[in-house]
């Protein structure tokens, strides 16, 4: 069973959308599990303080290293990879998700305010992950993105195994366009080839569509694909 652990100041964010549909089913079937830890529980003063002002000045507050470390040290397993969701981190992508889906367990730290004291990242060997080049107010939505991407790769979670194979990014290309009933909708018919029953022809058509879309929309992916 894949075990995820999230450290947050807002435990009510979780499992949130991850308890719906196939993920909810997989959660009750014990294909994965989520442990949510409230960082504030590690605070010791009467106000349950978790943050303080940055040395050297500047706006905002930082998560205190002693509090965060205490919270982590009580819960993180030996040799478990710990990730801090951070705009400065390594860019998260499908390959990264695939690697993480092979771990037995991972811990994710959601920052808030201006971030966390750097020393806790160094001393606890924490890896930083960014979900994109923009700044969120907190790491919770980023943790949900990371977990969503990993969960659909776990064996048995998606009903149809093949659905994860053809997809965008799996072969270095964006996915081809797809159509369902009705066959003619608002006077627009679905592409003729898809009705032909000729599987080889359909495969060729889909590949050429994937290539055209990738070339057009993502020159970066297209260059990589052409090299392989
Ligand atoms: N001052 C920090 C930003 C803090 S944003 C800086 O300039 O780097 C507040 C919190 O949101 C961060 O601690 C982090 O956990 C989360 N966060 C913001 N943007 C993110 C992103 N692109 N990916 C992952 N987490 C992000």
> For a pocket test of ligand 1, which of 108, 127, 135, 145 has the largest count of ligand atoms closer than 8 A to its C-beta?
135
- The answer to whether residues 140 and 186 belong to one domain is no
Nearest CA to ligand 1 atom 11: 138
In whole angstroms, what is the distance from residue 43 CA to residue 9 CA?
Answer: 11
In whole angstroms, what is the distance from residue 216 CA to residue 118 CA?
Answer: 41
- The answer to whether residues 54 and 113 belong to one domain is yes
> For a pocket test of ligand 1, which of 86, 109, 116, 126 has the largest count of ligand atoms closer than 8 A to its C-beta?
86
The CATH number for 184's domain is 1.10.1270.20
In whole angstroms, what is the distance from residue 173 CA to residue 224 CA?
Answer: 10
Count how many domains the chain has.
2
Q: What is the pLDDT of residues 19-56, one digit of tens each?
A: 999 999 999 999 999 999 999 999 999 999 999 999 99
Q: What residues pair up with 32 in beta bridges, in sequence order?
A: 2
- The answer to whether residues 120 and 173 belong to one domain is no
- The answer to whether residues 124 and 213 belong to one domain is no
**Residue range of the domain that includes 184:** 168-227
- The answer to whether residues 102 and 145 belong to one domain is yes
- The answer to whether residues 184 and 143 belong to one domain is no
- The answer to whether residues 202 and 145 belong to one domain is no
Q: Which of 226, 97, 92 is nearest to 171 (CA)?
A: 226
Domain end among 151, 176, 202: 151
Tell me if residue 37 falls in helix, strand or coil.
strand
Residue 156 lies in a domain: no
- The answer to whether residues 119 and 198 belong to one domain is no
Question: Residues with Cβ within 6 A of ligand 1?
Answer: 85-88, 110-112, 114-115, 130-132, 134-139, 142
Q: What is the pLDDT of residues 65-95, one digit of tens each?
A: 999 999 999 999 999 999 999 999 999 999 9
- The answer to whether residues 139 and 183 belong to one domain is no
**Cβ–Cβ < 8 Å for 94, 149:** yes
Tell me if residue 140 falls in helix, strand or coil.
helix
pLDDT at 162 over 90: no
């Amino acid at each position: 069973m894949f075990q995820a652990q999230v450290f947050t100041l807002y435990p009510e964010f979780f499992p949130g959308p991850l308890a719906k549909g196939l993920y909810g089913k997989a959660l009750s079937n014990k294909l994965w599990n989520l442990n949510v830890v409230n960082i504030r529980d590690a605070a010791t003063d009467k106000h349950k303080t978790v943050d303080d002002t940055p040395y050297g000045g500047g706006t905002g507050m930082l998560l205190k290293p002693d509090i965060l470390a205490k919270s982590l040290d009580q819960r993180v397993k030996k040799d478990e990879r710990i990730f801090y969701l951070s705009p400065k981190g390594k860019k998260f992508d499908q390959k990264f998700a695939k690697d993480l889906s092979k771990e037995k367990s991972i811990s994710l730290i959601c920052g808030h305010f201006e971030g966390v004291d750097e020393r806790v990242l160094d001393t606890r060997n924490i890896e930083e992950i960014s979900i994109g080049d923009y700044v969120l107010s907190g790491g919770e939505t980023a943790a949900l993105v990371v977990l969503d991407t990993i969960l659909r790769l776990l064996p048995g979670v998606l009903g149809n195994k093949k659905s994860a194979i053809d997809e965008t990014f799996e072969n270095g290309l964006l996915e081809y366009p797809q159509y369902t009933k009705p066959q003619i909708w608002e006077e627009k018919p679905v592409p003729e080839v898809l009705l032909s029953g000729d599987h080889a022809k359909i495969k060729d058509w889909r590949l050429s569509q994937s290539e055209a879309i990738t070339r057009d929309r993502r020159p970066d992916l297209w260059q990589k694909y052409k090299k392989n």
